[in-house]
Structures are given as structure tokens and as C-alpha cells.
């Protein structure tokens, strides 16, 4: 275990604190040793951000991962240029967590740091500030103090701030570091980043200087002092009349906005004299970006079923670190979470609740906010840098003992987690694809929780087969909730055969007869409808009816999606766009047709089929703005929309009582996916989207359009037969060596030249095959999509034996092989991507 997590022991004696190992955002798998300047030895430790020189020309910001006495063997340690923090931004537990992540997911700790820190804390790490090569500190014509003066002046002019502002914002300590190594121009670049990212939101206010605020006698003394200046006294009296601060000192302590003063009929210039004479002062109020709200403090009443589950979870925590709550859609998992969170907080622990990206702006967060108020921090990717930094600091300061967030919230600086909940734990969006670390937030959260000796609760209506496997093998505790909350019933399913309707000429604009009827019935009863199609745009592609030509992306091996609204064809992999040609470039025919179904087209068809209905669309294209998703949902909840068509976005966590019909337009797209998880995923997606129907007293109906109504997945979904489905799927996985029976690692080689990519992949594959552990290797093969962003992709798949040390040995050897490969001129420009537990 020592080597796994690194040694985060920190010598207390300042004389022993000679060297710091610094984590830097560079693609080299280790930390770098720097000398700690003597004058800073007392002020730094693990988790402080420092500025260091890297190579000849770069200055980077890194984080101290270790403090010790040993000079590095291979190189002469440079001295840390400066320390950026007055307290640790990252705690030792986090460093251990980063080290674990780097090792498990085969990446560099610097990459983990990059993913972990909100951009607002990363400072110059990406700007690659250039050192001035001709500058020599010892022969500089300016003494240090003067240089500081010069640089501050320059900053002041450039940034249109006062000298004091600059000093306050940049911090004198940082200025020192910059000064020692940079010329003014570069310092300004840094400064502007600092200014943007660190400037708290401040409001300029005015208040009385302290002793006069609450003390009437002191005020009288003051009046005597300024008796000779009746104008000032008049102003002051008026101020006190309008803003009675000595009756209510709180009014003074936060100061008064200039606007309020103007409204009271006081001129700013007369106040200026009072400020000059030290009677009043200007004051900057730092404002939180988050509203202050009290929690409701309401007492939550659980149903009998919920109470039983809660008791079982608590029981489960006695002997299992991880427990799985398998509760059908609408069973009321949220209220159970709330109870557990309240108890953990009351015992003084921190709590983290993970939600999939999309679910985060929904009702659930609103519900939690109602209960917990501003004790709860929200960590979301649509938040600004500043907001994220505020949550980060709020966790350190104790303001947020409870955070609900997306996958990156596992990196927040918790130091005493007691409970980690992963809701919708089966969600594939918990997996980060690019860039490294390619972690799975659920799995990483379990590790994080383990490091804190905390408890973990995984929740889902359709658990991932991995988690269910762990429950069946008693590695996890297991709790079931089989009833919907209240009297709600599970929905009824109708399978509608597209081919049958087509033959009978009953298919209208891609809607079967029964689908249209069910929608119409719901509309007649003023109920709402959700239509699911996991494909945005108008049509998956355009095709020439005469010669079959299909437009493809110039940079990727995919066809271009047709977006009618913007009148263009777009690549969903690289963003490339092109106008739709008037005639086929291959044969000159004018017959170009849009083929297949995207959400845009379905929206259009619905408007034609149900002209009286109000139709809205929810997909990536309609929810790009920060509150786009929320606004659409509010509209839907308020009943301003009758039919909502959308991608997987509408499957997650929506809880609306008037939704009675859910339509799945092309279920076959979900069934046939070349992946060993295809069945599991189809079961999950259909069950989840169906679970949006009939969540209260009205019964729901789910209509599924398919060309394969007898497919076994439908049968399992309709019967709600998760277990049987699982057992069948597991038999297959065991037979063909797939997780959870083996550990999968995907290794892809990417290069702009086809031959080079292929050759590198073969070379790598052969070296990996030689590693002496129990494993099966597949490939190398062209990727499922052979080219993305002009890079050709070849992949090898490794299936490792899970028992013994095959994993550890393989990963170690892999790292060695990759280092060798990068040292080889032939392969230096090949990008190798390692994906552990790929999805
Ligand atoms: P799940 O997440 O399990 O699908 P939810 O937590 O969304 O289910 O609960 C379904 C509905 O039942 C929600 O509208 C929720 O407010 C309501 N509900 C659940 N438990 C309670 C409770 N104990 N008291 C009141 N309402 C509840
Ligand atoms: Zn053609
Ligand atoms: Zn492309």
C-alpha cells in the first residue's frame, strides 16, 4: 500500500523541510523536487500551490505533494520561486487519492491534478509564460524593491486599477516570485489571469469608522471635533438620520451602498471630506455568488416501505462499506437520501452526493435545496470558474459540509467525509472519456470514501451489472424498494410493430397508429407526453436517392448529421459544419433526401400530427445556455408544453405528475450496439424513460415502436424482470470473458498518418502480449470509428485475470513499455490512450 498512495508524511521540524516534491501539469509520471527557500520553510507544506521554473523557459504552477530532506539524485534541485497560498488548497488525503487515480487509470498525477482543480485555481499552468532569457537577477540594474515598484506601476496602468488594488489582488508574496523571474510584460499576462480568477465579487460601500458606529458619546465628541465645519456636521447628521447605525450596529458593519446614500440626498463629495477626515471609510463588501437561504427544517415523513429500507441501509453499513439501494423508479429514494444526509451532518461528518451531469439542474437539487438551504454546495460544470472556486473554498472553510455535484466533485477538498451517495449509479456519464484521467466517478467515489473510512450508498432503479454482481457476491450490502411512493403504479407497456403499420399504410410521419392514438388520448385529458429519441439534429444523414452518396466529415469517419434549423450538416465528433449541397456532388442529381429520425424532425412531425398541441424539444442544441435546461423543465412543469421530445436528457430524474404517456420512437437503435453492455444498457434506458410515466395517481402508458417486438429485452423490461435478465447476461459475459469476470483495458494508438498509427498499434500490441500475466488480448483493430479529428485510431483490448496481481504487473509493465516507445523516434508522435474499465 505504501507505494500505491505515496508517502504523505510531512516532517514537522522546519529544519527538515528542505525539499518539496511538486506535482506539475506535465505529461511525465512523477513529481519534481525543488528546494524550499529558507524564509518560506515555515509557511509551506503539502497542498500549497507554488510557482516553479520548469526546464529553461517555463514557469508552472504546481502543488506540493510531499516535503522531505532528500536532495534528488539525477538533477540539481531548483528553488521554489514563490508560494501562492496562505493555507493548503489541497489536503494530504486528496494527494493520496490523486496518486491512487493515476496508478489505477494509468495516467500521470499531473493530469489528475489538472482534472481535480477548478480552472480558477490553476493560474498560469497553461499559459506557458516565457522567462526572459537575458534577464539575470544578480546583474539587474534595479534593486529588488525598485523592481517591485516598477512592476506594480506597470500593472496598475495596464489593468486600470489603483496601485493598492494591485497589491491587494496579486498579493505581495506572488509579486516577489514574478519579479525574481519575469519581465514586466509577462507579469502582466499572469496578473490578468489572477485578476479575473481571484477577484472576489465586491461591492464598494461606505460606513462610519468603528468607534462612532455604536457609541453615542463618541459621536458627540466627534461633532465637537468637526464643529468648525458645519457643512460636514450637517451631512453626518443627515446620514445618521437616514441610516440609524448606532441603534443598529449591524447596519454599519456591512456598510451602505453609494446608491442608498445618493437616494438619501447626500452628495458623494461631501462624504469624501468625511472620509478624508477619518470619520467615515470606504469599504469593500465581499459578496458570495450564492444566495443565502435557510433550510426548511421540515420533518420528513417516510412511508413504511421507505423506513424499512432506511433501517436496512443503516444495518448494511454495519458490515459493508458499500451498499446498493435498488429502488424502482418513483420509489422515493431521494427522501431516504435526505434522512441519511441529515444524520451524517448531525454527527459532524461531511457528505457528498453525486448526480449525473444532466440530473443536476433538475427537481432533485431544488428539493435538496429546500431542505438544506445554503449549507449545501452545488458543484456543476455549467458554473463559472469563480463559483467553483467558491465551492472549493467553502468546503475548506466548513461553509459547505454537504455538496451535491457532478463527477468532478469527488475532487473537492473534503477532509472528513462520512457518507458518499452515488445516485443513478448505473449512468454511463459517470465515466470520463477525455482527457485523462479516464475515471469512473462511481468507482473513484468508492475509493475516496474508503480513504475517509466513510460509507457509500449506490442508488439506482436499474443497477449496473457490476454493482449488482458485487451485491450478489456479498461484497456490497443490498437493499430493495419494490413499491412506488404513494399509490402510483408502474406503467403499462405497448409494443408497436413499425413494419406491420408500414405494410398496412398506417405509419404517418414515422408514428404508428397506436402511438398516435395514445398521444391523442393524453392530449384530450390535458395530460403530458414525453417522446424519446436518442439522436439530435433533423436526420442522421442526407443521401442521394439516385446514386446513394452520403456526405461525410472531412476529418472523421462518420456521416454528417443534418440540422434543418440551422440549414447545415454537422459532425458530432469534431464540430465540422458544411452547407447542404443543392445537387449531389457525385452524380449531379437534385434528389437529396434526409434519412432517419432526429429530435428536430420528430418535433416537426408532431407539430403536423397534433396541430393543437404545444411541442418543445430538449437536446444538447436547445439547452446550451447555463439555465436552458432548467427553463425548459420549468415550462414543462408549469404545463406550458404538452409534448416534450428529447434525447437521453429526458430520461433522467424527471418527476412530473401529469406525464402519462411516454413514447420511444426507435427502440431498435438502443438494442443493436456493438458492445458487451448493449443489453444491459437497453434494459436501463427503456426502464428509465418508461419510469417517467404515471408517477402519481394517474396510470402511465409506454408505447415502444420497434421492428423486433419479440426481442428478449422488451420481455424483460415489461415484466420488470431485472434479475433474470441479469443472470442471462452474466452467463454470456462469463463465457466470453467480459467484466465483471475480467478486468478490461483498452489501448488505442492515434496518428494522423494511417500507416504509422497501424504500425505503432502492432508494435505496442506485440510488446504487451509478451507481458507474463494471465490475460487475453484482442486486436489491434481499426477503431469503431476509424478516424476522429484527422487521427486514425487502432485499438487493442486486454482482458486481465482479476485474481492475483495480473493487474498491477500489467500496468507497471505498460508504463515501462510506453516510456520506451516514446523514447523511440519512430513512435514519438503517436498518441497512445489507455482506458481502464472502458465504456
Ligand atoms: P425515485 O428517485 O426513487 O425515482 P423520487 O425520490 O423522485 O423517486 O420520489 C417519487 C415521488 O414521490 C416524488 O415526487 C417525491 O417527492 C415523492 N415522495 C417520495 N417519498 C416521499 C415522502 N416520504 N413524503 C412525500 N413525498 C414523497
Ligand atoms: Zn448522387
Ligand atoms: Zn468530424
Which of 306, 330, 333 best tests ligand 1's pocket when mutated (most atoms within 8 Å of CB)? 330
Query: Rounded distance, CA 590 to CA 35, Å?
Result: 71
More reliable by pLDDT, 12 or 308: 308
- The 10s digit of each residue's pLDDT in 62-102 is 999 999 988 888 888 988 887 878 788 999 999 999 999 99
| Per-residue confidence (pLDDT) for residue 159, from 0 to 100 | 47
CB of 333 sitting under 6 A from ligand 1: yes
User: Which fold, 492-535+601-730?
Assistant: Rossmann fold (3.40.50)
Pick from 662, 726, 649, 655: which is nearest to 493 by CA?
662
Residue nearest to atom 16 of ligand 1 (CA): 332
DSSP letters of 544-590?
ETTT----B-SSSSSBPEEETTTTEEE-TTT--EEEPPSS-TTT--S
Q: Which of 364-378, 575-589, 795-809 is predicted with the least confidence, judged by mean pLDDT?
A: 364-378
Whether the CB of 409 sits within 6 Å of ligand 1: no
Which comes out higher in pLDDT, residue 624 or 327?
A: 327
For residue 247, what pLDDT band results from cuts at 50, 70 and 90? Answer: low
User: How many Å apart are CA 280 and CA 272, to the nearest integer?
Assistant: 8
The reply to whether 304-485 and 742-836 are identical in fold is no
Percent of the chain with pLDDT over 90: 56
Q: Is the pLDDT of residue 125 over 60?
A: no
How confident is the model at residue 43, as a pLDDT? 78
| pLDDT for position 816 | 93
Write the CA distances from 407 to 115, 448, 649, integer angstroms.
11, 12, 17
Is 19-121 a domain of CATH 3.40.1440.60? Answer: yes
- Residues 6 or more apart whose CB falls under 8 angstroms from that of 166 comprise 152, 155, 156, 159, 191
Please tell me the distance from the alpha carbon of residue 462 to that of residue 464, in angstroms, as a whole number: 7
Q: Candidates 3.40.50.2000, 1.10.3720.10, 3.30.530.20, 3.30.70.600; correct CATH number of 742-836?
A: 3.30.70.600
pLDDT tier for residue 410 given thresholds of 50, 70 and 90:
very high
Q: Is 166 annotated in some ligand binding site?
A: no
For range 690-698, the mean pLDDT: 87
Residue 612 has pLDDT above 60, yes or no: yes
Name the grid cell of 232. 460636514
What separation in Å is there between the alpha carbon of 670 and the centre of ligand 1?
A: 28
Once rounded to an integer, what is the mean pLDDT over residues 449-453? 96
> What's the pLDDT at 625?
77
Give all strands of the β-sheet with 831-836 in edge-to-edge order: 775-788, 791-801, 742-751, 831-836
Closest ligand 1 atom to Cα of 306: 23
Helices (H), 199-257: 210-214, 216-225, 230-242, 249-253
Mean pLDDT of 677-698: 90
Identify which has the larger pLDDT, 181 or 724.
724
Ligand 1 atom closest to residue 423's alpha carbon, by position in its atom list: 2
| Range from 151-155, 298-302, 377-381, 666-670 carrying the lowest mean pLDDT | 151-155
Evaluate if residue 619 carries a pLDDT over 70. Answer: yes
Q: To the nearest 5 percent, what fractions of the chain are helix, strand and coil? A: 40, 20, 40
pLDDT at 5 over 70: no
- Ligand 1 close to Cβ of residue 252 (< 6 A): no
- Residue 177: is its pLDDT beyond 70? no
Average pLDDT over residues 806-820: 94
Question: Is 142 a residue whose pLDDT tops 50?
Answer: no
- For ligand 1, whether the C-beta of 301 sits within 6 Å is yes
Residue closest via CA to ligand 1's atom 27 equals: 332
Please state, in angstroms and rounded to a whole number, the distance separating the CA atoms of residues 660 and 777. Answer: 48
| Domain topology for 304-485 | Rossmann fold (3.40.50)
Q: Indicate if ligand 1 lies below 6 Å from the C-beta of 335.
A: yes
Q: What is the pLDDT of residues 465-500, one digit of tens each?
A: 999 999 999 999 999 999 888 878 889 999 999 999
Tens digits of residue pLDDT in 416-449 = 999 999 999 999 989 998 889 999 999 999 999 9
C-alpha of residue 581 to centroid of ligand 2, in Å: 11
Residue 17 is predicted with a pLDDT of: 72
Q: Which of 575, 544, 547 is nearest to 561 (CA)?
A: 575
Residue 479 in 3-state DSSP?
A: strand
CA-367 nearest atom, ligand 1: 16
Q: How far apart are CA 342 and CA 419, in angstroms?
A: 11
pLDDT band at 133 (very low <50, low <70, confident <90, very high): very low
Domain boundaries, the chain: 19-121, 128-191, 202-286, 304-485, 492-535+601-730, 540-595, 742-836
Per-residue pLDDT reduced to its tens digit, 21-56: 999 988 788 899 999 988 777 778 999 988 888 877
Q: Distance between CA atoms of 489 and 26, rounded to whole angstroms? A: 54
Alpha carbons 410 and 94: distance in angstroms, whole number = 10
Q: Whose CA is nearest to atom 20 of ligand 1?
A: 332
Q: Is the Cβ atom of 657 under 6 angstroms away from ligand 1?
A: no
pLDDT at residue 155 greater than cutoff 70: no
The pLDDT, as a whole number, for residue 168 is 54
The reply to whether ligand 1 has any atom less than 6 angstroms from the CB of 334 is yes
Neighbour-count burial of 242, counting CB atoms closer than 10 A to its CB (0-12 exposed, 13-18 middle, 19+ buried): middle
Task: Find the distance separating the first CA and the last CA of the chain, reported in whole Å.
Answer: 28
The cell numbers describing 157, all together, are 496602468
Q: Are the C-beta atoms of residues 426 and 417 closer than 8 Å to each other?
A: no
The residue contributing the CA closest to ligand 1 atom 13 is 332
This prediction has a pTM of 0.81
* Residue 7: half-sphere exposure toward Cβ, Cα within 13 Å: 8
Amino acid at each position: 500500500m505504501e507505494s500505491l498512495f505515496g508517502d504523505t508524511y510531512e516532517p514537522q521540524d522546519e529544519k527538515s523541510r528542505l525539499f518539496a516534491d511538486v506535482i506539475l501539469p506535465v505529461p511525465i509520471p512523477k513529481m519534481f523536487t525543488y528546494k524550499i527557500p529558507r524564509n518560506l520553510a515555515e509557511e509551506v507544506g503539502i497542498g500549497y500551490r507554488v510557482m516553479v521554473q520548469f526546464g529553461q523557459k517555463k514557469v508552472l504552477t504546481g502543488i506540493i505533494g510531499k516535503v522531505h530532506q532528500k536532495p534528488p539524485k539525477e538533477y540539481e534541485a531548483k528553488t521554489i520561486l514563490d508560494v501562492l497560498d496562505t493555507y493548503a488548497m489541497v489536503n494530504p488525503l486528496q494527494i493520496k487519492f490523486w496518486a491512487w487515480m493515476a496508478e489505477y487509470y494509468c495516467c500521470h498525477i499531473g493530469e489528475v491534478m489538472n482534472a481535480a482543480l477548478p480552472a480558477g485555481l490553476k493560474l498560469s499552468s497553461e499559459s506557458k509564460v516565457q522567462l526572459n532569457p537575458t534577464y539575470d537577477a544578480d546583474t539587474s540594474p534595479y534593486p529588488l524593491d525598485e523592481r517591485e515598484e516598477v512592476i506594480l506601476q506597470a500593472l496598475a496602468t495596464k489593468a486600470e486599477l489603483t496601485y493598492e488594488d494591485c497589491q491587494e489582488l496579486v498579493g505581495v508574496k506572488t509579486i516577489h516570485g514574478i519579479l525574481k523571474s519575469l519581465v514586466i510584460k509577462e507579469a502582466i499576462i499572469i496578473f490578468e489571469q489572477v485578476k479575473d480568477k481571484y477577484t472576489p465579487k465586491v461591492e464598494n460601500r461606505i460606513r462610519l469608522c468603528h468607534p462612532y458606529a455604536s457609541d453615542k458619546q463618541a459621536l458627540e465628541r466627534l461633532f465637537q471635533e468637526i464643529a468648525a465645519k458645519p457643512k460636514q456636521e450637517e451631512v453626518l447628521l443627515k446620514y445618521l438620520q437616514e441610516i440609524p447605525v448606532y441603534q443598529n450596529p449591524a447596519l454599519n458593519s456591512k456598510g451602505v451602498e453609494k446608491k442608498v446614500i445618493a437616494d438619501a440626498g447626500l452628495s458623494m463629495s461631501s462624504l469624501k471630506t468625511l472620509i478624508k477626515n477619518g470619520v467615515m471609510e470606504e469599504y469593500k463588501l465581499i459578496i458570495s455568488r450564492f444566495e443565502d437561504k435557510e433550510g426548511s427544517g421540515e420533518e420528513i415523513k417516510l412511508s413504511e416501505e421507505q423506513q424499512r429500507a432506511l433501517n436496512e441501509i443503516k444495518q448494511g453499513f454495519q458490515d459493508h462499506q458499500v451498499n446498493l439501494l435498488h429502488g424502482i423508479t418513483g420509489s422515493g429514494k431521494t427522501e431516504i437520501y435526505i434522512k441519511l444526509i441529515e444524520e451524517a451532518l448531525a454527527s459532524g461528518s461531511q457528505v457528498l452526493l453525486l448526480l449525473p451531469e444532466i440530473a443536476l439542474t433538475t427537481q432533485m437539487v431544488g428539493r435538496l435545496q429546500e431542505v438544506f438551504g445554503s449549507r449545501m454546495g452545488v458543484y456543476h460544470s455549467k458554473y463559472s470558474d469563480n463559483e467553483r472556486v467558491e465551492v472549493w473554498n467553502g468546503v475548506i472553510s466548513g461553509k459547505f459540509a454537504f455538496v451535491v455535484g457532478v463527477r468532478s466533485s469527488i475532487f473537492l477538498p473534503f477532509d472528513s467525509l462520512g457518507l458518499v451517495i452515488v445516485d443513478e449509479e448505473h449512468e454511463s456519464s459517470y465515466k470520463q472519456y477525455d482527457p485523462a484521467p479516464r475515471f469512473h466517478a462511481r468507482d473513484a467515489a468508492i475509493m475516496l470514501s474508503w480513504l475517509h473510512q466513510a460509507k457509500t450508498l449506490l442508488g439506482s432503479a436499474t443497477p449496473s451489472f457490476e454493482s449488482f454482481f458485487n451485491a450478489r457476491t456479498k461484497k456490497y450490502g443490498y437493499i430493495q424498494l419494490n413499491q412506488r411512493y404513494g399509490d402510483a403504479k408502474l406503467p403499462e407497456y405497448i409494443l408497436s410493430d413499425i413494419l406491420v403499420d408500414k405494410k398496412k399504410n398506417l405509419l404517418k410521419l414515422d408514428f404508428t397508429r397506436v402511438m398516435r392514438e395514445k398521444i391523442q388520448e393524453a392530449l384530450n385529458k390535458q395530460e403530458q407526453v414525453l417522446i424519446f429519441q436518442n439522436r439530435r439534429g433533423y436526420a442522421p444523414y442526407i443521401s442521394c436517392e439516385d446514386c446513394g452518396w452520403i456526405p461525410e466529415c472531412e476529418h472523421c469517419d462518420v456521416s454528417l448529421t443534418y440540422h434543418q434549423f440551422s440549414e447545415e450538416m454537422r459532425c458530432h465528433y469534431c464540430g465540422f459544419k458544411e452547407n447542404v449541397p443543392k445537387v449531389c456532388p457525385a452524380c449531379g442529381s437534385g434528389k437529396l433526401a434526409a434519412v432517419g429520425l432526429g429530435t428536430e424532425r420528430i418535433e416537426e412531425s408532431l407539430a403536423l400530427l397534433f396541430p393543437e398541441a404545444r411541442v418543445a424539444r430538449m437536446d444538447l442544441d436547445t439547452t446550451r445556455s447555463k439555465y436552458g435546461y432548467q427553463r425548459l423543465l420549468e415550462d414543462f412543469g408549469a404545463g406550458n408544453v404538452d409534448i416534450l421530445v428529447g434525447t437521453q436528457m429526458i430520461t433522467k430524474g424527471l418527476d412530473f405528475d401529469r406525464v402519462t404517456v411516454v413514447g420511444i420512437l426507435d427502440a431498435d437503435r438502443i438494442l443493436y450496439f456493438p458492445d458487451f453492455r448493449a443489453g444491459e444498457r437497453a434494459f436501463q434506458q427503456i426502464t428509465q424513460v418508461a419510469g417517467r410515466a404515471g408517477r402519481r395517481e394517474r396510470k402511465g402508458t409506454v408505447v415502444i415502436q420497434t421492428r423486433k417486438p419479440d426481442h428478449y429485452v422488451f420481455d424483460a423490461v415489461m415484466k420488470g424482470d431485472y434479475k433474470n435478465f441479469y443472470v442471462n447476461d452474466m452467463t454470456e459475459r462469463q463465457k466470453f470473458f467480459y467484466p465483471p469476470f475480467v478486468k478490461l483495458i483498452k489501448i488505442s494508438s492515434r496518428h494522423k498518418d494511417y500507416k504509422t498509427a497501424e504500425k505503432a498499434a502492432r508494435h505496442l500490441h506485440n510488446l504487451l502480449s509478451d507481458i507474463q500475466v494471465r490475460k487475453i488480448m484482442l486486436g489491434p483493430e481499426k477503431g469503431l470509428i476509424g478516424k476522429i479529428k484527422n487521427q486514425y485510431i487502432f485499438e487493442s483490448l486486454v482482458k486481465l485475470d482479476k485474481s492475483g496481481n495480473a493487474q498491477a504487473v500489467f500496468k507497471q509493465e505498460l508504463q515501462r513499455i510506453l516510456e520506451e516507445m516514446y523514447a523511440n523516434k519512430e513512435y514519438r508522435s503517436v498518441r497512445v490512450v489507455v482506458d481502464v474499465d472502458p465504456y
